[in-house]
A and B are shown apart, each in its own frame.
Chain A
């Protein structure tokens, strides 16, 4: 039994290593601190922004902007199952659609960039300016200058 548990431990570690490697450009067991979120979510874990920030703060090497695998591996291994159980479930397309409809107060069938920006940067777990700009470039229809969220969800 103990052996089985030890084996499962290594299995989780290997999984984390593999996800980490994807972002380790120089193959020197370091990743950019801003990419920890992507690594964690690729492991099927979706902590809240607050949890994520706390986690990263714990990992970062003296404000260097880097996270080392030696530090990431034990901390992440310990939290893997916790995060897994406590992370929010991925939104279904239906609930996402409902959410967008809620924001579309006038039921226009689309959202104006200003409207979306207001909600995304002032409510909930607010977006940074960078995130917001990224979202707008990715989602705004350049011809009509609006977000057709029904199209969006199809992706």
Chain B
């Protein structure tokens, strides 16, 4: 037998085998990728829906505060105590030029010491201190805010910049110090050669919002002509009550209240738009069919919802942004009209997290830029920034703060999917009573409903606009007859702590509105002073009237008693509310 003939036979035998193997792997791989893509997508949908639903609740909360202001005085004979607390009127103490001088910095303080007017060595000191996780002393924070306030008061609503001397850079930032440091590292520190425009949402995400915003303000003070900030929808009293307030109060136990109040003032003074060379408009959210730049430059800089909240859409026209509960969706025609009217060529906005960190729409006339990488979850998205040169052609730079920069793998998708589903299940549990009531209306036989009914009830109660049928296998079990055993969607979840004795109605409200209730009582209890039992009752009465929740006075009295108003009248309501935080049962065991 010759060697040659043997090889020939072997190739003939082998080839179909190789082809079969290749087909097998190709099909497996394509299927694997398709499923991966599907999972990645709905994970994204869940995160986004939940984020927007939270923002929407906070907007509704501001309606409640207005309502509370209108009604509280009548109910409370003792005069306008609550309205005083809610009123953004400044504490006279804060207006005194020298207020920060009254605070001394102890010898033992090891953090950065800065002096005004700021110099490069001060901003460098801040940078390296924040890298080392140090906190800036309250005295310096107050002085920095005070100086920033003075400066911002001089600024117009719309800042006009020119590229004739230099190149420009645009960024959105969502309170992520890591991203900011990375951008500074890659792109250079702010300076005359490297000017920046930061497009809103500096706070309220991540645990380093104070540091981010202190750094940004420090650079604004250092280079007022080369460092520009636009206001975002999170630079708002109501929006940043939750995360940012908590962060400031934790970092500055003694002067937290003053710092917060000054922050709020400074935020309301932030310019709302930047225009480069009269051609490129930069705003945080977007525009609406009502937007007019002349008008914008003349109004007072608050309650400018459209500019801060709007999102572009592909259809023509302008419609209310129901998904977010604020601002609008603007179509390509709205963009075209505004650009034409003002002789602009491009709109740059942020406000929406994008997979790649940026996205173009409306025939390239609108750019969304989002700088917080891994916004929803490790590996969820890249961040990006834009560089804009004299020719005004945007160049995009992407990055991701992460251990690995490889494409999403199954493990990563699985982790993100897990936490998205967990967040969703918490939502389900928080709305348990309403959902069960809905299911019971459709009940076929014992505790099961058809898949359609199940999906319908979820959407009508939660309004998250999610593909419920696709998510069903991850949320609820099917019975043998193919119907959904609806109780199974609450199975893994439960309250974080043993539940205090409260009426079922009250428990339902507490689960459902825990975050809101915490915010409301945080405001009333702004300086951690005492809430009287009367105030507590009144606030509850207003809140339940506002919600249309059926909670009688007896239940509220029981509640007050159960949180144990002790003799000096102080309550730890926040701790009490912790019991109504829904958690995954696996987490409780830890």
Binding site for B on A (CB under 8 A): 10-11, 14-15, 17-19, 21-23, 26-28, 30, 35, 37-42, 46, 49, 88, 90-91, 95-96, 98-100, 102-103, 119-120, 123-127, 131, 134-135, 137-138, 142, 155
The residues of A that contact B410 with a CB separation of less than 8 Å are: 155
7 shortest interchain CB distances as A-B pairs:
A18-B469, A123-B22, A124-B23, A124-B22, A102-B21, A99-B21, A41-B34
B528 within 8 A of A: no
A28, B315: Cα distance in complex, Å: 8
Contacting residue for A37 out of B18, B28, B34, B470, CB 8 A:
B34
The answer to whether B470 touches A42, judged by C-beta atoms less than 8 angstroms apart, is yes
B162 within 8 A of A: no
The answer to whether A103 touches B21, judged by C-beta atoms less than 8 angstroms apart, is yes
CB-CB contacts below 8 Å: B20-53 with A:
20-31, 33-35, 37-38, 41-42, 45
The verdict on A95 contacting B24 (CB below 8 Å), with A15-B469, A18-B470, A22-B467 known, is: yes
A138, B567: Cα distance in complex, Å: 64
> Smallest distance from the beta carbon of B16 to chain A beta carbons, Å?
10
Q: Which residue of B lies closest to A96 (CB)?
A: B28
The answer to whether B25 touches A38, judged by C-beta atoms less than 8 angstroms apart, is no
B89 within 8 A of A: no
The residues of A that contact B250 with a CB separation of less than 8 Å are: none
The answer to whether A26 touches B314, judged by C-beta atoms less than 8 angstroms apart, is yes
Contacting residue for A22 out of B25, B26, B33, B41, CB 8 A:
B41
The residues of A that contact B409 with a CB separation of less than 8 Å are: 138, 155
The verdict on A127 contacting B467 (CB below 8 Å), with A42-B34, A99-B21 known, is: no
Which of B27, B34, B451: most chain A Cβ within 10 A?
Answer: B27
- 21 A-B pairs whose Cβ atoms sit less than 8 Å apart in the complex: A11-B452, A14-B451, A18-B468, A18-B469, A22-B467, A30-B314, A38-B33, A38-B34, A38-B37, A42-B470, A46-B31, A95-B24, A98-B21, A103-B21, A103-B22, A123-B19, A125-B26, A134-B33, A155-B409, A155-B410, A155-B411
A130, B139: Cα distance in complex, Å: 56
The residues of A that contact B313 with a CB separation of less than 8 Å are: 26, 28
How many contacts A-B (CB < 8 Å)?
121
The secondary structure that dominates the B interface is: helix
B564 within 8 A of A: no
The answer to whether B470 touches A19, judged by C-beta atoms less than 8 angstroms apart, is yes
Q: A127-B26, A134-B33 are in contact. List 17 more A-B contacts (CB 8 A).
A: A11-B452, A15-B469, A18-B469, A22-B470, A38-B34, A41-B35, A96-B25, A119-B18, A123-B18, A123-B19, A124-B23, A125-B27, A131-B30, A135-B29, A137-B406, A155-B410, A155-B411
The answer to whether B26 touches A23, judged by C-beta atoms less than 8 angstroms apart, is no
The answer to whether A102 touches B34, judged by C-beta atoms less than 8 angstroms apart, is no
The residues of B that contact A127 with a CB separation of less than 8 Å are: 26
The residues of B that contact A126 with a CB separation of less than 8 Å are: 26
A78, B269: Cα distance in complex, Å: 59
B403 within 8 A of A: no
B455 within 8 A of A: yes
The verdict on A90 contacting B407 (CB below 8 Å), with A19-B470, A124-B22 known, is: no
Interface size on B, residues (CB 8 A): 39
The answer to whether A99 touches B20, judged by C-beta atoms less than 8 angstroms apart, is yes
B465 within 8 A of A: yes
The answer to whether B34 touches A100, judged by C-beta atoms less than 8 angstroms apart, is no
A109, B5: Cα distance in complex, Å: 29
The answer to whether A23 touches B314, judged by C-beta atoms less than 8 angstroms apart, is no
A61, B284: Cα distance in complex, Å: 34
The residues of B that contact A134 with a CB separation of less than 8 Å are: 33, 407
CB-CB contacts below 8 Å: B454-508 with A:
455, 465, 467-470
The residues of A that contact B42 with a CB separation of less than 8 Å are: 22
B17 within 8 A of A: yes
The residues of B that contact A124 with a CB separation of less than 8 Å are: 19-20, 22-23, 26
Q: Which residue of A lies closest to B24 (CB)?
A: A99
Q: Which residue of B lies closest to A122 (CB)?
A: B22
A95, B17: Cα distance in complex, Å: 12
The answer to whether B23 touches A125, judged by C-beta atoms less than 8 angstroms apart, is yes
Residue interface mask B378-412, A partner, CB < 8 A = 1: 00000000000000000000000000001101110
> Smallest distance from the beta carbon of A33 to chain B beta carbons, Å?
14
Contacting residue for B38 out of A38, A90, A131, CB 8 A:
A38
> Smallest distance from the beta carbon of A115 to chain B beta carbons, Å?
11
> Smallest distance from the beta carbon of A18 to chain B beta carbons, Å?
4
The answer to whether A102 touches B17, judged by C-beta atoms less than 8 angstroms apart, is yes
The residues of B that contact A26 with a CB separation of less than 8 Å are: 313-315
A119, B465: Cα distance in complex, Å: 43
Which of A10, A41, A99, A120: most chain B Cβ within 10 A?
Answer: A99
The residues of B that contact A142 with a CB separation of less than 8 Å are: 406
A49, B29: Cα distance in complex, Å: 13
The residues of B that contact A19 with a CB separation of less than 8 Å are: 38, 467, 469-470
The residues of A that contact B41 with a CB separation of less than 8 Å are: 22-23, 38
Which of A18, A35, A134, A137: most chain B Cβ within 10 A?
Answer: A18
The residues of A that contact B31 with a CB separation of less than 8 Å are: 41, 46, 90
> Smallest distance from the beta carbon of A2 to chain B beta carbons, Å?
19
The answer to whether B452 touches A14, judged by C-beta atoms less than 8 angstroms apart, is yes
> Smallest distance from the beta carbon of A45 to chain B beta carbons, Å?
10
Q: Which residue of A lies closest to B466 (CB)?
A: A21
A23, B24: Cα distance in complex, Å: 27
The residues of A that contact B468 with a CB separation of less than 8 Å are: 18
The answer to whether A90 touches B26, judged by C-beta atoms less than 8 angstroms apart, is no
The answer to whether A46 touches B27, judged by C-beta atoms less than 8 angstroms apart, is yes
The residues of A that contact B19 with a CB separation of less than 8 Å are: 123-124
A11, B22: Cα distance in complex, Å: 36
